[in-house]
A and B are shown apart, each in its own frame.
Chain A
Amino acid sequence: MDLTLRIWRQKNAQDPGKLVSYEAKDISSDMSFLEMLDVINEQLIEKGEEAIAFDSDCREGICGMCSLVINGVPHGAQFQKGTATCQLHMRKFKDGDVITIEPWRAKAFPVIKDLVCNRSAFDRVIQAGGFISVNTGGAPDANVIPIAKHDADRAMDAAACIGCGACVAACKNASAMLFVAAKVSHLAQLPQGQMEAKDRVRKMVVQMDAEGFGNCSNQLECQAVCPKEISVDFIAQMNREYLKSSV
């Protein structure tokens, strides 16, 4: 198939950036979306032009590195729900389509170049308290603490977050509530996480605000684009944890 791509090009953080059009010819429907961009980049280099910068690594939907807004929706979730961009294949598109590709846009995720942005704010939120403070060695036998299957499964539902930032990119407030809630809920769901539960949620929320993420206004766009389909129920759980931490 032949496609027209409108791709965001921005030299660096200072450059205002603009959309540039590219023609993509003879694209196979078996290609992944990122392989289609690989082809465009090969052609650009052959013409002596600079390739389009975009992040990707595992290309199987688990590392959370890839991050593209496709026709206005993070990870192209309007074409396929519950996956990252790297798992989107060209069979979802048809000949003649015009596809607009942009980076995540949020104050807390400044663009580094083209489609690549800086998501280190997420790391700092985890560093503020997204862990259980156990040092290596001295842990009791793993079966000493039984955990109900339901709780373990629910913890896993939250822990599945890949930290890609699509939730922030989809939110009109650039809120990171789903990301933060996923970690707060994962750890609060487990007995091991109880000791620090109050401290954890407070510190993570303080850091989330300091990074410039917005608030949640219950539009649920985050859940709609999340590649792991993390439920907004966890935001409610985080709010409860936060409330509990102050009483």
Chain B
Amino acid sequence: MILDSKIPSGPLAEKWDKHKFEMKLVNSANKRRYNVIVVGSGLAGASAAASLAEMGYSVQCFCVQDSPRRAHSIAAQGGINAAKNYANDGDSAQRLFYDTIKGGDFRSREANVYRLAQVSANIIDQCVAQGVPFAREYGGLLTNRSFGGALVSRTFYARGQTGQQLLLGAYQALSRQIGLGKIKMFPRTEMLDLVVLEDPCLPAGRQARGIVTRNLVTGKIESHAAAAVVLATGGYSNVYFLSTNARACNTTAIWRAHKKGAFFANPCYTQIHPTCIPQAGDHQSKLTLMSESLRNDGRVWVPKNAGDKRSPDQIPESERDYYLERKYPTYGNLAPRDISSRAAKRVCDEGRGVGPGGRGVYLDFTDATQRLGEKAIKERYGNLFDMYERITGENPYQVPMRIYPAPHYTMGGLWVDYNLMSNLPGLFVIGEANFSDHGANRLGASALMQGLADGYFILPYTIGQYFASMKRDPVTTDHPEFKKAEEAIASQISKLMSIHGKRTALSLHRELGKLIWDDCGMTRTEASLKNALHRIPELRDEFWGNVDVTGTSGDLNQALEHTGRVADYLEFVELLCQDALHRNESCGGHFREEFQTKEGEAKRDDANYSHVAAWEYAGEGKPEVLNKEPLLFENVHLQQRSYR
């Protein structure tokens, strides 16, 4: 199948404006007749729901947490990029575009990324108008910091809680519309299926027209019909069990939409964040990120000699290896995430890692503390230092922090065109849940930017074009497809409840996570991926034959919720490994050991893999079908990514 990305013609810098003008509009008076389902209430979902309601659409918004304010966007620490050039260091939309394309190792769409860079400045304006308390200079104007993969200061921040403040801004906009009766909010409600109807009026013949949900408090399975469905359900890092994601983050919504026909793009592009607190033991339920902003002032090092067990203060300068500064003198400790993570893994593989188990490197603030004073360090990073001390029991003002990479973000996701619509008409996907803007590696402070760009400034326009150009019959939840989906969900739940095996979903999830971390984590090989693909069906059989869920399905049952999500991971993970196996090159976060330069960097194969891999579900037990969207680069020159 030919995938049409619907990128507008014309010069790169004019595409979005031209497209906005050419898109058909919906009469304001008619907008309330269109109801839109938004699943997820993070930055993308909340900003989209609020903006759509402000425009006049009827919106239903769903989240699994007890309040939309708790979505995982809230945990983003460091900041949000925008091409404002307030720092007067030569920034521009063109430069942000180029940094993002290069940071993504030339595996994203030029037109999407340029649009993202263009609207980035509007996001900051919008958030300030909402009252987001960004950090300021004494003169009263906004201040910026630097982030990985860029040589300009373009990152806006609110202490170490930027995600929280941006989310609360979007949450407040959402709350205003809920209060006005324009949005109906469904907290503690999980989407368990997408409903797709055949429509003879449409060229593709199909339309996404609703969802089926489970009320997590009462267990009730319910249908919701709509004119369009927007998924803003985040990424799938929790497939690794241990990640920096919140416990409830899951792949269920996008995976079940995939099984209803939405293509899944580039699942093997997973981001392993270099600065996380190392795992302390087997009991661990999640890993905690230490913001990348710490690398502005912290220096990363390990002992020069393998097996050096001295405490860090006993190791003289001459016996330390500041390996990022040594290997990447231009970017130093601010080398991009994928590169920094792999460098950490390598020094640990060489036996030079520090801390229990030898899986850690130092992040040392001694120089910065001497240069700036402890007070300045405390002001910049105090909350992060406190968090580190609570988790590890060590004081980072006295002893260097220990950090190690951890799964953090997923660049892959459901395939969308330039309008953020999937291949299923009426199904839009925004934020981390789609695949669109980060290529094979996301730069720091760009996730918040993309979530809000999609939700505030892109989807609200493009969805109007869809409504204005497509006819649709009214649909209610009495349609047999809804009943069919409800029955399928009910039967899956009763099946899970009746296995009465010997293993908890948590133990199976942990086992799956370890397998995938080892075989499809920071680096992959053909052999490791084949091993994983061999082991996954066994683990899936073990799950369906031996899982145990206690309690009932008719009330709040957190074990049941988790078990359903693990069932989906066990299916999805096969596609993750298959995609990694198909991509016989290294790019960004996807590093195949077989494909590296003599310096040990990712070696792309532009002749054969300069495409988006969009996988099509073919039915249970059948191999997924690969559709390719070629990536065309007309404005940037493809090159070996270098941060040296």
Contact = CB atoms under 8 A, between A and B. Distances in A.
Interface of A: 11-12, 28, 30-32, 34-35, 38-39, 41-42, 44-46, 48-51, 53, 55-65, 80, 82-83, 87-89, 91, 112-113, 116, 118-120, 122-123, 126-137, 139-143, 145-149, 152-153, 155-156, 159-160, 162-163, 186-187, 190, 192-193
B395 interface: no
B161 A132 contact: no
Contact of B172 (A35, A63, A126, A152): A126
Nearest to B138: A149
B253 interface: no
Nearest to B129: A139
Given A57-B65, A62-B161, A63-B246, A46 B504 contact: yes
A75 to B, nearest CB: 12
Interface centre among B68, B133, B134, B168 (most CB of A within 10 A): B133
Contacts of B133: 152-153, 155-156, 159, 186, 190
Interface stretch (B284-292, B303-311, B621-629): B284-292
B165 interface: yes
B550 interface: yes
Nearest to B282: A28
A12 B555 contact: yes
B141 A34 contact: no
B175 A64 contact: no
Contact of B179 (A48, A56, A88, A127): A127
Nearest to B500: A48
Nearest to A42: B504
B130 A131 contact: yes
Contacts of A155: 131, 133
Q: Which are the 9 A-B pairs with shortest beta-carbon distances?
A: A146-B140, A131-B172, A127-B179, A139-B129, A50-B551, A139-B125, A156-B133, A142-B128, A136-B51
B54 A136 contact: yes
Contact of A46 (B122, B129, B289, B548): B548
B559 A65 contact: no
B69 to A, nearest CB: 6
Interface string B103-141: 000000000000000000010111111110111111111
A229 to B, nearest CB: 11
A87 B391 contact: yes
Interface in B441-488: 456-457, 460
Contacts of A35: 283-285
A61 B133 CA distance: 20
Contacts of A190: 131, 133
Given A35-B283, A140-B129, A127 B391 contact: no
A77 B126 CA distance: 37
A149 B140 contact: yes
A133 B178 CA distance: 13
B176 A186 contact: no
Nearest to A132: B131
29 contacts: A28-B283, A32-B391, A38-B283, A39-B283, A44-B550, A45-B559, A49-B550, A50-B551, A53-B557, A57-B247, A59-B246, A63-B65, A126-B171, A129-B179, A134-B126, A134-B130, A136-B51, A139-B126, A139-B128, A142-B84, A142-B127, A142-B128, A142-B142, A143-B141, A146-B141, A156-B158, A186-B131, A186-B133, A192-B128
Contacts of B138: 149
Given A50-B550, A155-B131, A149 B247 contact: no
A153 B122 CA distance: 23
Contact of A118 (B66, B175, B386): B66
Contacts of A57: 65, 70, 72, 246-248
Most chain B CB inside 10 Å of its own CB: which residue of A59, A62, A139: A62
Q: Which of B65, B142, B158, B247 has the most CB of A within 10 A?
A: B247
Contacts of B550: 44-45, 48-51
B399 interface: no
Given A48-B550, A127-B179, 11 more contacts: A49-B550, A60-B75, A60-B286, A63-B246, A126-B171, A127-B178, A143-B141, A147-B136, A153-B133, A186-B133, A193-B131
A219 to B, nearest CB: 26
Nearest to B386: A82
B6 interface: no
Most chain-B CB neighbours within 10 Å: which of A12, A38, A41, A137?
Answer: A137
Contact of B70 (A64, A88, A135): A64
Contacts of B246: 57-59, 63
A139 B122 CA distance: 8
